[in-house]
Amino acid sequence: MISCQTQAERWEMIEPFEISREVITAQPVLLVRLSDGHGHTGQAEAAGVDYDGETPQTLAAQIDRVAPRLHDAITGQDLLALLPAGGARNALDCALWDLHAKQSGLPVWQAAGLPAPQPVTTAFTIGLGDEATTRRKAREARAYPLIKLKVDAQRHLDMVRWVREEHPGARLVVDANQGWTLDLLKDLCPKLARLGVEMVEQPLPRGSDALLDGFKAALPLAADESCTDLASLKTLVGRYQFINIKLDKCGGLTEALAMAADARELGLGLMVGNMCGTSLAMAPAFLLAQQCQYVDLDGPLLQTLDRDCPMVYRNGVIDPPLPALWG
């Protein structure tokens, strides 16, 4: 049998991080370790989906209920039947990938039939803020070529202008986190396009995606909160041009890789995102990032501390994780 240990943790942010629905001062996560009877241990981290009510405590409770069924031959496909999409399955799935890598000596990318991972460029995220704060953060981020800017229904064009003035060479995407109406989206898209914004992420509340039927936006739209797991993909076709796959939403790397394959067949572009967290949460998502046009794996850059053997970030470029961390 495989033994399972869970530990709730809290990682402090460098400064408060504001999006349209909340302000984050620390990121709670659940650390999961799976061990076999031969001294091998795999680990993973999940934050869960906070807007669906997930916490480290609810994730741990879900994992406790299925822990007795974690036999030595269990696979990621087996986990799909044990748990729904979400943070608990993500933690178990990614810890299982790591455990199998430690047992076999075969890196996860090779076991998954993927090419050897190469460095990728991540977006650096600037949260909502006043003009002075936004300009300061933009200046501090001048080394990062891709900026993701959080916006809401009141703070949008001005924030883009401030960032553009302080970091004129940056590629820009904006993320409304469900904070806009269709009328506001229609009004802002052409103006954002003129300011050089490349993409708008999750403009409308999830569940209202049908409002986008027939709408021809001046910019590509990406589904985040509306994109959960494999089952959600067909509802996004024709409404969005990109999907943001997050392992905490879809329930792990196993499902994420399947989503990426199906999304490509459906003509959807790929983005990989994060729910904040340490390098341990970014490491499995880094393998998915190899296939993505947009990468948003900057969680550790927003926090005061990171794991031992952290992923290396150099001006927005992320190196592959060390096996001592994951995979």
pLDDT digits (tens, 9 = 90+) for 259-276: 999 999 999 999 999 999
Q: How far is CA 67 from CA 1, 5, 6, 88, in A?
A: 10, 9, 11, 11
Q: How confident is the model at residue 22 (pLDDT cuts 50, 70, 90)?
A: confident
Identity of the residue numbered 143: A
In this structure, are 99 and 127 located in the same domain? no
Going 118 to 237 to 128 to 194, the CA torsion angle's sign is positive
In this structure, are 88 and 158 located in the same domain? no
pLDDT in tens, 281-316: 999 999 999 999 999 999 999 999 999 999 999 999
Q: Would 112 be classed as within a structural domain?
A: no
Q: Would 115 be classed as within a structural domain?
A: no
Q: Give dist(CA 54, CA 20) in Å, integer.
A: 19
pLDDT in tens, 57-82: 999 999 999 999 999 989 999 999 99
pLDDT in tens, 25-39: 999 999 999 999 899
In this structure, are 132 and 235 located in the same domain? yes
Q: How far is CA 241 from CA 61, 96, 235, in A?
A: 36, 32, 12
* pLDDT, mean of residues 205-213: 97
In this structure, are 72 and 194 located in the same domain? no
**Chain Cα centroid distance, residue 47:** 10
In this structure, are 156 and 294 located in the same domain? yes
Q: Would 281 be classed as within a structural domain?
A: yes
In this structure, how many other beta carbons lie within 10 angstroms of the beta carbon of residue 12?
A: 11
pLDDT in tens, 88-113: 999 999 999 999 999 999 999 999 99
Q: Would 114 be classed as within a structural domain?
A: no
What pLDDT is recorded for position 24?
Answer: 86
Identity of the residue numbered 171: R
Q: Which domain does 181 fall in, by range?
A: 120-318
Q: Would 113 be classed as within a structural domain?
A: no
Q: Would 57 be classed as within a structural domain?
A: yes
What pLDDT is recorded for position 321?
Answer: 98
In this structure, are 188 and 71 located in the same domain? no
Q: Where are the alpha helices (DSSP H) in the chain?
A: 56-66, 76-82, 87-104, 108-111, 131-140, 157-166, 182-194, 247-250, 253-265, 279-289
Domain finish residue from 74, 107, 140: 107
Assess whether 234 carries a catalytic annotation.
no
- Catalytic pick among 150, 186, 191, 234: 150
* pLDDT, mean of residues 168-176: 97
Q: Give dist(CA 5, CA 36) in Å, integer.
A: 12
In this structure, are 98 and 133 located in the same domain? no
Task: Report the percent of the chain where pLDDT is more than 90.
Answer: 96
Domain finish residue from 107, 130, 153: 107
In this structure, are 181 and 312 located in the same domain? yes
Mean pLDDT of the chain: 96
In this structure, are 207 and 285 located in the same domain? yes
What pLDDT is recorded for position 241?
Answer: 98
Residue at token pair 């046009």: 293
Residue 79: CATH number of its domain: 3.30.390.10
In this structure, are 200 and 276 located in the same domain? yes
DSSP string, 265-288: HTT-EEEE---S--HHHHHHHHHH
In this structure, are 129 and 88 located in the same domain? no
Number of domains in the chain: 2
Assess whether 249 carries a catalytic annotation.
no
Domain finish residue from 79, 107, 135: 107
Asked if pLDDT for residue 20 goes beyond 80, the answer is no
In this structure, are 74 and 97 located in the same domain? yes
What pLDDT is recorded for position 162?
Answer: 97
Residue 138: CATH number of its domain: 3.20.20.120
What pLDDT is recorded for position 17?
Answer: 86
